[in-house]
Amino acid sequence: MTGFKYITYTSDNGLITLTLNKPPYNVLDIEMMEELNNALDEAAKDESAKVLMITAKGEKVFSAGVDVMDHTPDKVVLMIEVFHGILKRLMVFPLPTVAALNGSAMGGGCELAIACDMAVATEETKLGQPEIKLGVFPPIAAILMPKVMPLARAMELLLGGNLIDAQEAKSLGLLNRVFPRATFEQDARAFVEQFLVQSRVALMYTKRAIREASGKPFFEALFWVEQTYLKELMSTDDAIEGLNSFMEKRKPVWKNK
């Protein structure tokens, strides 16, 4: 897809990459966020896709967050609508999503990262939500941070507004992996490769099961997952191919349907 001013959109053997392209800080203004919404809509329609990765240009900052100038009373309603549109799209995106943090993620940049299913980062990356220092709070982080880390630590980060380093973020569950800067692009690609070799339909049904079961009582979640498994997944070509290839001791040839 072409025509974007502030992001680049690439598709390569099942991997769709959206790259924030407004260095050095990749500040998210309304125009750039509208582009991200459009790109996510296109990515969700791509039947060849298996994984969505969001990364950024630059060496030190993934994104410094939403433009402060768009928080003024005359723009804040539109800003929230457009920014939260991105995060809503990520939350319902049908395939695995990975934030590849080439540098620090602050404010809305951090929210963008934690709205993805997984995240990897460079060793120098710092993450945090400094909004409290401006007299406001980050709505998405207020919802998601307590889901992935102990409540007391989420409280400290949201109420104190301080940044944490990549290793601490990994220990808290905000990051899956931390890589050296020198090999970050290769390491991030290797991380997503483990998903790219899988069946597209299996990825979709597995993600749906995880998302839909989350937060439900066990037996309610189990009933829903069983129905999905038996009535939907097992009717796909790839489920049969996966089982047959295992019994025939060969690599599966996915039809992605």
Give pLDDT tens digits for 92-125: 999 999 999 999 999 999 999 999 999 999 999 9
The 10 Å CB-count burial string (b at 16+, else e) for 81-120 is: ebbebbbebbeebbbbbbbbbbbbbbbbbbbbbbbbbbbb
Long-range contacts of 76-84 (CB under 8 A, 24+ apart): 78/30, 79/30, 79/33, 80/139, 82/30, 82/33, 82/34, 82/37, 83/28, 83/33, 83/108, 84/139, 84/140
Domain 7-196 fold: 2-enoyl-CoA Hydratase; Chain A, domain 1 (3.90.226)
Please tell me the least confidently modeled range out of 66-70, 114-118, 169-173, 185-189: 66-70
For the chain, how long is the longest CA-to-CA vector?
64
Asked if pLDDT for residue 11 goes beyond 70, the answer is: yes
- Residue 25's CB is within 10 A of a number of other CB atoms, namely 20
| Backbone CA torsion sign across 29, 211, 185, 113 | positive
pLDDT reported for residue 2: 60
Identity of residue 34: E
Residue 120 backbone phi and psi in degrees, to 5: -125, 160
Q: What is the arithmetic mean of pLDDT over 209-222?
A: 94
Domain boundaries, the chain: 7-196, 200-247
Question: Other CB atoms closer than 10 Å to residue 183's CB: what's the count?
Answer: 11
Phi, psi of 43 (to 5 degrees): -60, -40
Q: Which helix (H) or strand (E) is 179 found in, with range?
A: strand 177-179
Q: Please list, residue by residue across 36-52, b when 16 or more beta carbons sit within 10 angstroms of its beta carbon and e when fewer do.
A: bbebbeebeeeeebbbb
Whole-structure pTM value: 0.95
Per-residue pLDDT reduced to its tens digit, 132-181: 999 999 999 999 999 999 999 999 999 999 999 999 999 999 999 999 99
CATH number of 200-247: 1.10.12
